[in-house]
Structure 1
Amino acid sequence: MTNEEFKKTLWEAADKLRGSVAAATYKYPVLGLVFLKYVSDMFDAQGRVIGKSLAEPTSEYYIEDEDARAAAAEQFTADKTFYDADNVFWVPPNAHFKTLLTQAAAPDLAQRLDKALGEIEAENPSLKGVLYREFSRLELEPGKLGELVQLLARLSFDPDRHGSRDVFGEVYEYFLGQFALKEGARAGEFYTPKSVVNLLVEILAPFKGTIYDPACGSGGMFVQSAKFKDAHAAKLKKKGDLAIYGQEMMAATRRLALMNLAVHGLHGDLGNTYGDTFANDQHKTLRADYVLANPPFNISDWGGDKLADDPRWVYGIPPKGNANFAWLQHMLARLSSRGRAGIVLANGSMSSQQSGEGEIRRGMVQDDVVECMVALPGQLFSNTQIPACLWFLSRDKATGDNGRIDRRGQILFIDARKAASGRISRTQIEFTEGDMQRIAQAYHCWRGTDFSNGEEYADEPGFCFSASLEEVEKHGFVLTPGRYVGAQVEEDDDEAFNEKMERLTAQLAEQMEHGAALDAAIREKLAALGYEVAR
């Protein structure tokens, strides 16, 4: 079984157990159990590492005598400090997944799970208030929770063959994606399609410094940023390092994010609690090197009437009925002097003139903080059909850490509406790896970054165009890429015009004749059924 087949099989089996519990509720116990299996297996793996260190002559804990070594192994594997030292969560014996698996048929399994997860939280302060502890409230049919525990017991790993974080992280992300498909509109509260996240990350290229997401959902931006950093460290022969900061308004979603970080071996500051970023900003003094976010689109009840004098509104007070330009200005306020931001927003943000939005956009362009605009295709999101775009903002477009080419006074426009060639389902598409590389390379070549592979930038009709601020002003400060990139150059057609017209005319006549025959057949069937058909 491939990894994808394994994840798909696991999901299908888990979904069958769902019964009458809605996906919005079901994701928390499922992902909570996935996390419990993860920490239990990590705990066991650390025990094996401790045992091996006692038998390794070069280890500071080496013990030559076998009997003494066995006794020491029993003592050391029961010592919490040996787990804390390697950032491995301590799992009490009664809370271990294997122990609970033996109790899967117990009528009080739900209560035992709640108690076990409470014990893990008590032993690991960083998990306090994070784990799902409401199994007792689930309205599952008798025995189904035990079946779910037995099913997730199939998750296992061998550190010598593959990394635990990869296996469990992939399952966790896959389950998040599947729950998003099930939930429809509600999915936007916690999940951004993976290919959209990856495209943001590929363009922004977070590698070293602080990274911030003010609407972090389940933490996908952080996870993909860390993966990008690790993937490019060897290539660039540099050590990447990212300090993670975020905030999430929904308490349950914040717990998903904290678990997601833990599954991937990441540590982050998500504030002291959940809360509204506008009214209860928990990172007021932060100045981040990278901001990545997919805030909720076009929200009207964001509390703007109470924040009219907020110092974040440098370019104008955002309209009370739409938070799009509140998000943009909030993220600009949290950027360092060299900081850059990548933000997913509704297409309307590129051209709206309502309630002062046009003036705010004008101020941002004239102040030269808009770096790149990307138009996205429809059908990328499982939870909304609202057309979306990517805004990339920058505090420093001159030569330096952000690129070798001075791009002050210029904005890169990329029209990626036809650039997604992957398909997830009948109603949803995605960017493939090749699609993302094409789009990201246009930016990196334009900016002259370390990720450009030495290639030079060139405008490509129908796809990308580097515009001066004067050109943007001529378009009334509207930032829709289609206005700037022009029409795509069609490939030369060897077929002569007269020949093509003759062929297409014949093809049209044939199709019209076929259509008339179908029309006659339908009329005949309807007449036979006693319906009078108008002509």
Structure 2
Amino acid sequence: MAKKDNSSFEQKLFKAADKLRKNIDAAEYKHVVLGLVFLKYISESFNELYYKLEAEEWSDPEDRDEYIAENVFFVPKLARWEHIRDQAKLSTIGQTLDEAMEVVEKENKELKNVLPQVYGKANLDKTSLGELIDLISNTELKAENENSKDLFGRVYEYFLGEFANAEGKKGGQFYTPKAIVKLMVEMIEPYKGRVYDPASGSGGMFVMSEKFVTEHRGSIKDITVYGQESNQTTWKLSKMNLAIRNINSKFVVWNTEGSFLKDAHPDLKADYILANPPFNQKEWGVDILQEDGRWKYGTPPNGNANFAWMQHMLYHLSPKGVMATVLSNGSLSSNTSGEGEIRKNLVEGDLVECIVALPKQLFYNTGIPACLWFLRREKNSHSKEILFIDATEMGFMKDRVHRDLAPEDIAKIKDTYRNWRKGENYQNEKGFCKSATLQEIQKHSHVLTPGRYVGIPDEEDDGIPFADKMAALTTTLKQQIDKEAELNQEIEKQLSKIGFAL
């Protein structure tokens, strides 16, 4: 009997697409695949409105303004999927796709300089490219009972994660694992207001915020996203990722200088800040920014930008705002180059609300242990207290090298934090969580490693008396010693047969 394939639709599609990769590097191939997924998505959206307009007596389905009014990308005939599909088997398909991307950019100014025009490259096998187009063309036929547009949003997101995995260390530069993003979003609950990410990567924080709003029956129009990215390739991925989700990315910008040296949103005060900035970034520009107004709690050292990122975010946080950021565990305890003093000032300023220690192996690009910092300007219910959560033993190994958080892990951490904030159904749990006072933190010299506060969980008593345990263990040990003696005699005997003595 054939083994049943239980892999998800996205997994099957990715495996099929990856087979067509041939000798192309994953870093390059992601632009080929994600560009096609994006083109298919905007064609689906366009066609949906096109047929609707076609059925209306006084509407013109080729009128670009009709699409602008409905916030739908206008797709010129040269770029419509039917045209691409019909050309898939021709040797000129690479050129056809590059032209398609060009005309889509021309007709939709928000996509200017965003879409990949890499299909005419000599190293891209045109037969495989044609097969990839066929694969994506047949996608909607295989996805049962699902809106095709929603499906392509899911596919794009899944493919981003898989390409990040394939690229390993480099992949982490544009992708934060989904479970971490979900945990951060579920904890700060961005229902309404301005959401900011100063190191926005491929836009995962914004996509998860949109999902959160939608799942809680809110309106996506209630949040506005602001982002900045210094890697242009990554920024292009984010613009497509957000467009697929119908998230307005007007304020998600790119410049080579980055958030420290050329802040794209100098006057922004955000209600929610979510970020996964580069870990322990060196040479980030403090020599130029020595007297910068953002360093209210101390000037960060040139050798490590952890507290530069944190203070940059705090500078952009509104009076009632909340922020969540991923940082390396070194940020919790380092005292080098004034970092301990900055951390002390943040704690004494009553800005730090919660610290979550994460398990190892969650990230694609680093094995460095990481943590989540939650900071809030108004800590009404828990002034001069910090909640410490030790999640280092949580999660499961999803493959040989990567760990992931299960939905129940995310729920436990999120519920612990929410209950603590509300002052309902919360109690300290040895080995997992502790609400520590400022006095306790001062005793630990403002080191914020959760393990120092939550302690070690009590060993579960298995009910077997100590004397019985020792009797069983000594019996086993005696048997093993006797077996060792027996094996040693046998080795000696075999060696003597071939003329060797011990």
TM-score range relative to shorter protein: over 0.9
Could you say what secondary structure the match of 1:360 adopts?
helix
Give the deviation of 1:518 after TM superposition: 8.4
> For the residues of structure 1 that align with 2:248 and 2:143, how far apart are their CA atoms?
21
Would the aligned equivalents of 1:206 and 1:290 in 2 still touch at CA under 8 Å? yes
Matches within 5 A, 1:335-414: 335-398=317-380, 406-414=381-389
One-letter amino acid of the counterpart of residue 457, structure 2? Q
Equivalence for 2:203 = 219
TM-superposed deviation, 1:29: 1.3
Q: Does 1:325 align with 2:307?
A: yes
Q: 5 Å matches for 1:4-15?
A: 4-15=7-18
Aligned pairs (5 A) from 1:276-315: 276-315=258-297
Letter in 2 for 1:172: Y
Shift in alpha-carbon separation, 1:447–1:151, aligned structure 2, 3 A = same
Aligned residues: percent identity?
Answer: 46
From 387, 404, 428, give the equivalent of 1:430. 404
User: Which one of the candidate residues 448, 470, 485 is aligned to 1:479?
Assistant: 448
Given the superposition, is the C-alpha separation of residues 260 and 514 from structure 1 closer, same or farther in structure 2, using an over 3 Å criterion? farther
Contact 2:231 2:254 in 1 (8 A): no
1:273 aligns with 2:247: no
Aligned amino acid, residue 392 of structure 1? F
Counterpart mapping for 1:34-433 below 5 A? 34-51=37-54, 54=56, 69=57, 72=58, 76-137=60-121, 139-156=123-140, 161-233=145-217, 241-275=222-256, 276-398=258-380, 406-420=381-395, 422-433=396-407
Cα distance 1:522–1:200, how it changes in 2: closer, same or farther (>3 A)?
farther
SS class of match (1:137): coil
Matching residue of 2:463: 494
Contact 1:230 1:240 in 2 (8 A): no
Mapped partners of 1:285, 1:520: distance in 2: 82
- State TM-score, norm by structure 1: 0.87
Distance 2:420 2:46 in 1: 47
Q: Please give the alpha-carbon distance, in whole angstroms, between the structure 1 residues aligned to 2:196 and 2:429.
A: 32
Question: What letter corresponds to residue 399 of structure 2 in structure 1?
Answer: S
Offset at 1:387? Answer: 0.4
Please say if 1:25 is aligned against 2:6: no
Contact 2:277 2:309 in 1 (8 A): yes
Structure 1 residues 460 and 80, CA gap change in structure 2 (3 angstroms): same
SS at match of 2:168: helix
Structure 1 CA distance for aligned equivalents of residues 62 and 144 of structure 2 = 23
Residue 460 of structure 1 aligns with which residue?
A: 429
CA distance in 1, matches of 2:260, 2:268: 14
TM-score (ref. length: structure 2): 0.92
In 2: Cα distance, 1:270 partner to 1:136 partner: 31
Question: Is the deviation greater in 20-29 or in 75-84?
Answer: 75-84
Structure 1 unaligned segments of length 5 or more: list them: 55-68, 399-405, 450-454
How far 1:324 sits from its partner (Å)? 0.6
1:445 to 394, 419, 432: 419
Cα pair distance change 1:44/1:240, threshold 3 Å: closer
Query: Which amino acid is the alignment partner of residue 45 of structure 1?
Result: E
CA RMSD of aligned residues (A): 2.7
- Provide the residue aligned with 1:16 in structure 2: 19
The residue identity in structure 2 corresponding to 1:94 is: L
Q: For residues 99 and 84 of structure 2, what CA distance do their matches in structure 1 show? A: 11
SS of equivalent residue, structure 1 residue 306: coil
Distance 2:302 2:463 in 1: 57
Is 2:226–2:251's contact at 8 Å kept on the other side of the alignment? Answer: yes
Is the 2:110–2:250 contact (alpha carbons within 8 Å) kept by the matching residues of 1? no
Shift of 1:473: 0.6
Amino acid at match of 1:308: Q
Give the residue type in structure 1 aligned to 2:413. Answer: I
CA distance in 1, matches of 2:493, 2:233: 60
- Is the CA contact 2:74–2:107 (under 8 Å) kept in the aligned structure 1? yes
User: 2:360·2:370 contact (CA, 8 Å) conserved in 1?
Assistant: yes
Residue pair 2:320, 2:376 contacting (<8 A) in 1 also: yes
Quote how far apart the aligned CAs of 1:33 are. Answer: 0.5
8 Å Cα contact 1:157/1:164 also seen in 2: no
AA in 2 matched with 1:500:
K
- Whole-Å separation in 2 of the counterparts to 1:185 and 1:367: 36
Indicate yes or no: 2:473 matched with 1:504. Answer: yes
Q: List per-residue Cα deviations over 1:364-386 (Å, max 9, x = no partner).
A: 00001100000001011122111
Q: How many residues matched?
A: 496
Q: 1:482 to 1:44 in 2, by over 3 A?
A: same
Deviation sequence 1:80-103 (CA, Å, 0-9, x none): 222222111111111112201111
Question: How far 1:271 sits from its partner (Å)?
Answer: 4.5
Are the counterparts in 2 of residues 41 and 157 from structure 1 also a CA contact under 8 Å?
no
Q: State the distance in 1 between where 2:111 and 2:250 align.
A: 13
Can you give the 5+ residue segments of structure 2 that lack an aligned partner in the other structure?
none
Kept in 2: contact 1:233–1:239 (CA 8 A): no
Output one character per residue of 1:50-102: Cα deviation in whole Å (capped at 9) or x when no partner.
356x3xxxxxxxxxxxxxx4xx5xx5222222222211111111111220111
Matched residues in 2 for 1:110 and 1:374: separation? Answer: 48
CA distance 1:184–1:163, change in 2 (3 Å) = same
Distance 2:489 2:62 in 1: 84
2:464 and 2:254 mapped to 1: Cα distance? Answer: 66
The answer (yes or no) to whether the contact 1:246–1:269 under 8 Å persists in 2 is no
Quote how far apart the aligned CAs of 1:490 are.
2.9
SS in structure 2 of the partner of residue 18 of structure 1: coil
Deviation at 1:49, TM superposition (A): 3.1
Q: SS at 1:136's partner residue?
A: coil
